[in-house]
Amino acid sequence: MAGEILLKSGEVKIRVIYADTDAMGIVYHASYIRWFEAGRTELCRELGVTGKGMESSSYYLPLTKLFCHYLLPARYDDLLIVETTIHDVKRASIEFGYRIFDEKKRRLLVRGSTIHACTNETGNVVRIPKILIDTLQYFKDVEGE
């Protein structure tokens, strides 16, 4: 399953609140990283994979790598769309891709990616559980039709 497979994508709308901005009313750079997480969490939920479910099975997906390219600024009270895609699934890691747009998807503001290792409760890297691989494979097949 390795490679650029673009399994599934999802969208989340985010309203920029004042606390997400700097003194100039422009979104603070770290706010985008939180929105990546919101997009990833909702996409996984759509696939039937929740953080609580993973943890109750003693599996975790800690962040191991982050890339973020800021193209245009967002400002206080803007409505944004966070588009999240599963880019790659390897034996023990998953890569998610993100694009953040203005509310009409006319302007791409930010693009990025995160890589998450699959670990057990002691923090050792382990294979992604079969049930998760099966879920991702199912959506790959559906998206490929």
- pLDDT for 137: 61
- pLDDT for 6: 47
- pLDDT for 139: 60
Give the burial string for 96-112 (b: 16+ CB within 10 Å, else e).
bbbbbbeeeeeeebbbb
- Residues with catalytic annotation? 22
Over residues 30-62, the pLDDT tens digits come to: 999 999 999 999 998 888 877 777 766 788 999
Three-state DSSP state, 98: strand
CA-based torsion, 129, 33, 11, 4: positive or negative: negative
pTM here?
A: 0.85
Whole-number average pLDDT of the chain: 87
- pLDDT for 30: 95
- Checking if the pLDDT of 122 tops 90, the result is yes
Q: Which domains does the chain have, with CATH numbers?
A: 9-144 (3.10.129.10)
Q: What's the half-sphere exposure (Cβ side, CA atoms, 13 Å) at 102?
A: 9
Closest CA to 86 of 24, 42, 50: 42
Over residues 64-120, the pLDDT tens digits come to: 999 999 999 999 999 999 999 888 888 999 999 999 999 999 999 999 999 999 999
